[in-house]
Amino acid sequence: MNWLARILFFRLLGWNLEGESPVHLKKAIFIVVPHTSWHDFYLGLLVRRILKLNIAFVAKKELFRFPFGWYFKWMGGTPLDRTPGQNKVEAIAQIFGEKESFLLAIAPEGTRKKVLKWKTGFYYISKLAKVPIVMVAFDYGTRTVKVSNPFSPTDNEELDFLNMQVFFKGAVGKVPQYS
């Protein structure tokens, strides 16, 4: 199936891929920015196949209802109850501790709409679970997916977020006004 993903991604859709696949990682959080459209889902599926990574994802539990719930679970999805008052950071960090291998994709915006500030849960999950972060930019403007080298959060949160924002600077989402 890797060959089919490559044909679809590179030839039919006309996308490029920059960066190396971190196949050596057993555990990591992949942050994908900008997330502005449902098109990001199938693009992400193609990229994970090309990179030969079994990346899981969490999504709002409403997506896992009939008729598509089985499909999202089959694709590596886990429903997330977004009811306020739950400690989702600790719950997800615990999953990393329980599994020998776990790669998780998260959209820090938390929505497909425009946001002025990212949600920070991914950062604290990374710190609590002691797993690196890999940045993935979906730039529809240049039709390029960029993959960063893994990095571990430091004790300087402000500098870490500044460095992440620099990586994603200029990346244009499918819906540009939401980027």
pLDDT in tens, the chain (179 residues): 789 999 999 999 999 999 999 999 999 999 999 999 989 989 999 999 999 999 998 777 888 899 989 988 888 888 877 677 778 898 888 888 888 999 999 999 878 888 788 889 999 999 999 999 999 999 999 999 999 999 999 999 999 999 999 999 999 999 888 88
Q: C-alpha angle with apex 160: 100 to 76, nearest 5 degrees?
A: 35
What's the pLDDT score for residue 6?
A: 96
State the pTM of this model: 0.88
Q: Position of tokens 């929505």?
A: 111
pLDDT for 176 equals 85
Tokens representing 34 are 């900008």
Report the pLDDT value the prediction gives residue 4, as an integer from 0 to 100. 96
Domain coordinates of the chain in residue numbers?
2-113+135-172
What is the rounded CA–CA span in Å between residue 132 and residue 52?
A: 18
